Structure 1
Amino acid sequence: MPATASRLSVFTESVIRGTTRLANQHGAINLSQGFPDFDPPEELLKALEKATRGPFHQYAVTWGAPRFREALARKIQRFSGLPIDPDRHLVTTCGSTEAMMVAMMTACNPGDKVVVFSPFYENYAADAILSGAEPIYVPLHPPDFGFVLEDLVKAFEQKPKAIIVCNPSNPTGKVFTREELLTILRLAEEHDAFVITDEPYEHIVYAPHEHVHFAALPGAFERTITCNSLSKTYSITGWRLGYVQAAPEVIAQARKVHDFLTVGAAAPLQEAAVAGLELPDSYYHELQALYARKKEVFLEHLRATGLPFTEPQGAYYVMLDISPMGFKDDTEASERFIKEAGVAGVAGSSFFREPVHHLIRFHFAKKEETLHAAGERLRKYTSGKM
């Protein structure tokens, strides 16, 4: 048998999705893979039912159904202030996962370098390797997971083609400040690099923190490739609807990559999703309040365990420090939490370039009763009462 591609030997299958499979096997409450256990807005469900009876069962326009892109452009402009042309600035993708791959393959040639903050969402390293790029890792430091300017300057001195910025961040919940983003922009301008942003948690931010759209910073639009999705904002992770937003010259190239990766996102789902994109501002205020409440419910249980954790500024993840429990490492801890406590979290080492083996990432995008059930199990397990 011929050997498979050598680049596949340097990364594994997704640890997150693998943890979900283990959780399902043992009947654990799944706080590993970040998807809700509650329905999308009723407006979306009704629109989906209607779309299944409409003429939307064949290919849409490859880079996105016109009605979807038009609604998306209006929504982006409403929140970022950017004048988005649906025909020149957008490509609809199969989730932000494809959007990131499209962005990487559009920006980078094989052998180019890409700056990645660590900890990072696990796809980023794989995206770099699959596109032939070399990651340059810059550590983020707890408790606020900020970067040290000297570290970032040294990374840019290696002449990267791009930097990846996840904001709000998965897995840490960090929300980058405007000042931090302006520093990144200044260095990208100085070294003529793209800034690839991943922003699916843009509407899940906790006061007093605020999300800043990187592309809307002064002078940033021409070098920013924004990746985003509808998954988290509308609780439709299974619909796999995302997009790339960039300058027309970049989008013209991104369309080529997208066309030959997936041809196009699901046509009936694009039609139905328009109803979500047209929801009023009140929906987004209620979404923030909903997740702020879920955060407090879950963190109250974590406080009762006595284990350290970093409170998230945005997104819906929290990193729990399990070092006081005496496990060999986070992989052992994750497996034992699933099998013995009945709660699934992701081994934190899968997000770090550095040798960090004392953290478990949990998410709280669940019904309150689910969070209470998981919290009670964690409290009993950590106190030795199970």
Structure 2
Amino acid sequence: MASRTTHPVLGTRALNRATLARQLLLERAPLSAHDAVAHLLGLQAQNVKPPYFQLHARLAGFRPAELAGLMESREVVRMVTMRSTIHTHTADDALTLRPLVQPARDREVAYFRKGLVGVDLERLADRARALVDGAPRTMGEIREDLLQEWPDADPQSLSVAARCLLPLVQVTPRGVWGRSGQVRLTTVENWLGTTSPVRAQPVDDVVLRYLAAFGPASVKDMQTWAGLTRLREAFERLRPGLAVFRDENGVELFDLPDAPRPDAGTPAPPRFLPEFDNLLLSHADRTRVVPPEIKGRTWTGNQAHCTLLVDGFLAGLWKLEGRELTVELFSSVPARVRDLIVDEGERMVGEMAGGTEGTNGTEGPAVVVRFGAIPR
């Protein structure tokens, strides 16, 4: 193994620019929504709209109807995967990433074991699968059915067990832009009509995909993204074919040899990101995007705010109401940067608010961008 002194050091700005390049945030990419979702290994999606805004910030010519169409054709789906959170995945990734993170879901069930005394988990999974494959069900309906067999169990623990033991997807119209729908669930196999045995993506392949989308990164970074442990063995197997660096704190970082690592001085345009964007959630050390002095500013209680990048780093929050965009900056910026923020904000609202109204981006009322405290 090479000594640590032989590994080049990547400063914070160099890491920032490399990550932005992988995340398609230095310049909008000419990719389809499907290919972007695959490249990014999914889009965090606790709420319906964030995946659409994530793609708008990254793709040239993106309109909400494109992702909505993929949802309706079942080429992408919404389901619990990394970090026990809802993600929008391609159909292929939904089938193969969920088995990869199943050990973490099993640990989650174990955390609720006190509420599952006397519950046969294999029987629970079989009963819940039969119920949701018969027809998509709400979590309340699943819980009530399970309580018929285990009336003394804790209702929340039964819900957690069903959600963790089964690969449940949220069926449409939930997740479709411009439509509304209650969360109803069925298994991913049933929704996608597959009868073939589902196998996890090889962990080594996922490491390489993670580095392509989030690198350069440490073992702990990927473990944070995936919600998994014990990934070092995979990195060590891959080490001979990887580029190895260190950050300014001496942490070892791995990367694909030919992946883009732009100069630290590469311009980074303002970008409006929604709440729960994986850019801010997929590294153990987030200082490559989040300056230490503003750590925690993107949350109020348990509410996550939409975020603004300026010069590649978290620099403010935003909130959209109709066609009025409020931007709250954490510190002052030059007038020319404010102009760039306004231009990007007007573009986002003009293109995305049009999609909300069903006009697919056609002109509407004037967009208003104002600077001030966002409404809490």
Q: TM-score, normalised by structure 1?
A: 0.27
| Bigger relative contact order, structure 1 or 2 (CA pairs below 8 A, ≥6 apart) | 1
Structure with larger Rg: 2
